[in-house]
């Protein structure tokens, strides 16, 4: 049925129709992964006896909160780990990853990142930029990294580094984040883990942000000792308004729980304040919403390829995260892309995004976001630094039908309809 709500140039509509035909096989694959993960989730809810009474709020210390205790168990079941912590108290992905790192590392330990330079916000946590504000470096935790080789983990260099330096913790970032390297599959992460475990006693931690539920397995199923991510990305299903999760080996999760609150108290405290229902509901919906975001990403790639733009990943590539970058060639295109996408947002559609000097960036950045949850990048959103290669990174889409229109409006605003 032809939609009658948005005026789309016929050239863009035709390209979108062609793109849809091209990507049907990928949609079928995404549906299979989604169904598998959704049933994994449903069975975890059933197995752990999730009940309505668990949505009740606790206040104060939050002792004995059954909702809090049970959602940890559900997360452990889904991620196939011995234990997990899934909380609204984690303020964002960076905080969640930091709690895991501080929980596991001690003065004198070496953290070795084997996937090149980690995500920007982690630099301050590690102390790469050398500020004395309580970073891991301030506490005497050492840091080194193994660079990627042609955008891929360099297994030989990893083996050598692990043998020579005996790290306490090996750190892997699954998603491309805002770089142009490919994201890692769980199979590739498994290869790294094998090399690390064969040559050291190091624990392996994976930054799983943007990666959850894009495959039928998670990094924890290929040997990662701890995985962590944000609930305003994949794992919160677009419903959780804040939070994060950490899943992994029981002894490590216990240590991490002492950093999450305090030594002695660990996981036994933490009022849920009525948040449990949306955490359960969001986590439950996550596999489905990730499927919608993946479809949006594949469609975006296919549509912009038709207009001659470079994409990473391409519409035909396998995907291990929800991030899509489109090389838009110049500043004007970047700005129009973001402004057009904003026009198709359910919230703040009337806002016109402008480039601004974002702290920590060496060029201006423009962003499109019209989300129900502030900064939630599981909702359709785009960021673009105004510099070579003029790439827009977009991700999310709570439901494909709506996100598809956002992407078409981005193309239209760029004048691709002629």
| SS3 assignment, position 6 | coil
Q: Which residue in 103, 167, 177, 396 binds ligand PLP (CB under 6 A)? A: 177
CA distance 237 to 56: 21
Q: What single-letter DSSP state applies at residue 112? A: E
Q: How far is the CB of 210 from ligand PLP (least distance, A)?
A: 5
Number of shown-chain residues binding ligand PLP (CB under 6 A): 12
Does the footprint of ligand PLP cover residue 171 (CB under 6 A)? no
Does the footprint of ligand PLP cover residue 173 (CB under 6 A)? yes
Q: What single-letter DSSP state applies at residue 261? A: S
Q: Which residue in 207, 278, 292, 413 binds ligand PLP (CB under 6 A)? A: 207
CA distance 10 to 107: 62
Cβ contacts of 117 within 8 Å, gap of 6 or more: 123, 145, 179
CA distance 278 to 95: 20
Q: Which CB sits closer to ligand PLP, 48 or 179?
A: 179
Which among 399, 366, 364 is positioned nearest to 380, based on CA atoms?
399
Does the footprint of ligand PLP cover residue 203 (CB under 6 A)? no
Q: How far is the CB of 3 from ligand PLP (least distance, A)?
A: 32
Q: Which residue in 37, 48, 175, 272 binds ligand PLP (CB under 6 A)? A: 175
Q: How far is the CB of 18 from ligand PLP (least distance, A)?
A: 31
Q: Which residue in 119, 245, 280, 284 binds ligand PLP (CB under 6 A)? A: 119
Q: How far is the CB of 201 from ligand PLP (least distance, A)?
A: 26
Does the footprint of ligand PLP cover residue 210 (CB under 6 A)? yes
Q: Which CB sits closer to ligand PLP, 167 or 211?
A: 211
- State how far the alpha carbon of 348 is from the alpha carbons of 239, 274, 280, 343, 369, in Å: 18, 27, 27, 8, 8
356-395: which residues touch ligand PLP (CB under 6 A)?
none
- State how far the alpha carbon of 42 is from the alpha carbons of 208, 240, 271, in Å: 21, 17, 26
Q: How far is the CB of 121 from ligand PLP (least distance, A)?
A: 5
In the complex, which residue's CB is closest to ligand PLP?
93
Q: Which CB sits closer to ligand PLP, 16 or 98?
A: 98
Find residue 395's DSSP bridge partners. Answer: 381
Which among 281, 269, 288, 273 is positioned nearest to 213, based on CA atoms?
288
Quick one: which H or E segment has residue 228? strand 226-230
Cβ contacts of 199 within 8 Å, gap of 6 or more: 159, 162, 163
Q: How far is the CB of 241 from ligand PLP (least distance, A)?
A: 13
Q: How far is the CB of 15 from ligand PLP (least distance, A)?
A: 29
CA distance 195 to 192: 5
75-114: which residues touch ligand PLP (CB under 6 A)?
92-94
Quick one: which H or E segment has residue 327? strand 324-327
Which residues of this protein are in contact with ligand PLP, per CB under 6 A? Answer: 92-94, 119, 121, 173, 175, 177, 207, 209-210, 230
């Amino acid at each position: 049925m032809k939609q009658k709500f948005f005026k789309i140039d016929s050239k863009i509509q035709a390209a979108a129709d062609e793109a849809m035909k091209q990507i049907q096989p990928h949609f079928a694959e995404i549906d299979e992964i989604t169904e598998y993960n959704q049933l994994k989730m449903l069975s975890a809810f059933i197995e752990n006896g999730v009940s309505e009474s668990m949505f009740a709020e606790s206040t104060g210390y939050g002792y004995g909160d059954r909702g809090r205790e049970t959602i940890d168990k559900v997360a452990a079941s889904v991620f196939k780990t011995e234990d997990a912590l899934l909380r609204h108290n984690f303020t964002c992905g960076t905080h969640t990853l930091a709690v895991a790192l501080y929980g596991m590392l001690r003065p004198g330990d070496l953290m070795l990142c084997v996937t090149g330079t980690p995500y920007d916000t982690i630099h301050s946590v590690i102390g790469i930029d050398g500020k004395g504000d309580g970073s891991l470096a301030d506490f005497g935790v050492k840091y080194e990294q193994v660079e990627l080789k042609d955008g891929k983990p360099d297994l030989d260099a990893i083996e050598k580094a692990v043998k020579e330096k005996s790290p306490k913790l090996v750190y892997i970032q699954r998603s491309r984040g805002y770089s142009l390297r490919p994201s890692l599959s769980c199979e590739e992460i498994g290869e790294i883990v094998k090399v690390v475990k064969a040559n050291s006693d190091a624990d392996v931690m994976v930054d799983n942000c943007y990666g959850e539920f894009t495959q039928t397995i998670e990094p924890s199923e290929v040997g990662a000792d701890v995985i962590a991510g944000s609930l305003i990305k994949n794992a919160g299903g677009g419903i959780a308004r804040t939070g994060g999760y950490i899943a992994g080996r029981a002894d490590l999760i216990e240590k991490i729980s002492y950093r999450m609150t305090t030594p002695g108290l660990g996981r036994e405290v933490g009022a849920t304040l009525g948040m449990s229902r949306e955490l359960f509901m969001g986590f439950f919906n996550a596999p489905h919403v990730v499927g919608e975001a993946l479809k949006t990403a594949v469609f975006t790639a296919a549509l912009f390829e038709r207009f001659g733009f470079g994409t990473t990943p391409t519409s035909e590539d396998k995907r291990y995260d929800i991030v899509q970058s489109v090389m838009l060639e110049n500043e004007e295109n970047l700005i129009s892309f973001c402004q057009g996408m904003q026009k198709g947002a359910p919230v703040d559609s009337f806002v016109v995004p402008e480039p601004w000097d974002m702290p920590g960036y060496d060029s201006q950045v423009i962003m499109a976001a019209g989300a129900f949850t502030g900064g939630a990048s599981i909702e359709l959103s785009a960021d673009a630094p105004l510099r070579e290669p003029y790439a827009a990174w977009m991700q999310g889409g709570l439901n494909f039908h709506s996100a598809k229109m956002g992407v078409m409006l981005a193309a239209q605003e760029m004048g691709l309809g002629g």
